[in-house]
Structure 1
Amino acid sequence: MGDVINLSEQKTIQQLQNEVDAYIGQFKEGYFSPLAMVARLTEEMGELAREINHHYGEKPKKSSETDKSIEEELGDVLFVMICFANSLGIDLQTAHDHVMEKFNSRDKDRWTKKGEGE
């Protein structure tokens, strides 16, 4: 059997990817296809948008709607994103590092930094 997972410890992105992979790996079906993953990600983003709209927008919840938290919906988005990356063999830390390099070089002067122009 697999290792016991401590759900309260700090985890690296690689640990998150490994944890999701171990979970999905126990099922014969494995990961969904890339197209199905995009559909699931879109679905989860819609649920997140709905929660944001309920909390910060003009659309209050109906009394019949269950109360889900923004945290829970972000967790669902993260899980599907990790599944998607894993299914395509993408290391999310490497993907993150590429994006941060882009923001730190191409976009370094795009916005006013705190302390400038005050």
Structure 2
Amino acid sequence: MSFETKEIQDRVDRYISQFKEGYFSPLSLQARLTEEVGELAREVNHRYGEKPKKSSEKDKALEEELGDVLFVLTCFANSLNMDLSEAFERSMSKIETRDRDRWTRKEGEKENE
């Protein structure tokens, strides 16, 4: 199943809007995002790093952890009335300009215009 960014933001908003508490404050959302990114980092470290899991720790899929990060990031954007597609476009435009000649291109690959 695939979703557009607007659909993701709308779905999260429908979910959050059913609760009186609504979205957390930006500071709380930043803390939640940091927590979720930490859980993702821990999972990556277990899978690809030198730190094996304890036998008592359950296996969490990287996909689940990435989904948790995406959910909180979407809550953050929604709470500030920001469009994730626009934010992504701004970021990609900056990166495509700034890093245009930073990396070695694969043979036959041309610069995206």
List aligned pairs for 1:93-112, cutoff 5 A: 93-112=85-104
1:56 aligns with 2:53: no
Measured in 1, the distance between the counterparts of 2:39 and 2:96 equals 31
Aligned-pair CA distance for 1:100: 1.0
Task: Give 2:95's aligned amino acid.
Answer: F
Task: Give 2:39's aligned amino acid.
Answer: E
Which one of the candidate residues 19, 22, 38 is aligned to 1:27? 19
Calculate percent identity across the aligned residue pairs: 64
TM-score scaled by length of structure 1: 0.88
Aligned-pair CA distance for 1:106: 2.1
Q: Return 96-105 or 30-39, whichever deviates more.
A: 96-105
Partner of 1:4: none
Task: Give 2:5's aligned amino acid.
Answer: I
Q: Which runs of 5+ in 1 are unaligned?
A: 1-7
Look up the SS of the partner of 1:103 in the other structure. helix
Q: Return 100-109 or 85-94, whichever deviates more.
A: 100-109
Measured in 2, the distance between the counterparts of 1:109 and 1:30 equals 44
Q: Which runs of 5+ in 2 are unaligned?
A: 109-113
| Paired positions, count | 108
Partner of 1:3: none
1:79 aligns with 2:75: no
TM-score scaled by length of structure 2: 0.92
Task: Give 1:49's aligned amino acid.
Answer: A
Partner of 1:5: none
Task: Give 1:107's aligned amino acid.
Answer: D
Q: Deviations over 1:62-116 (max 9, x none)?
A: 1111111111000000000000000001100000111111122222111111117
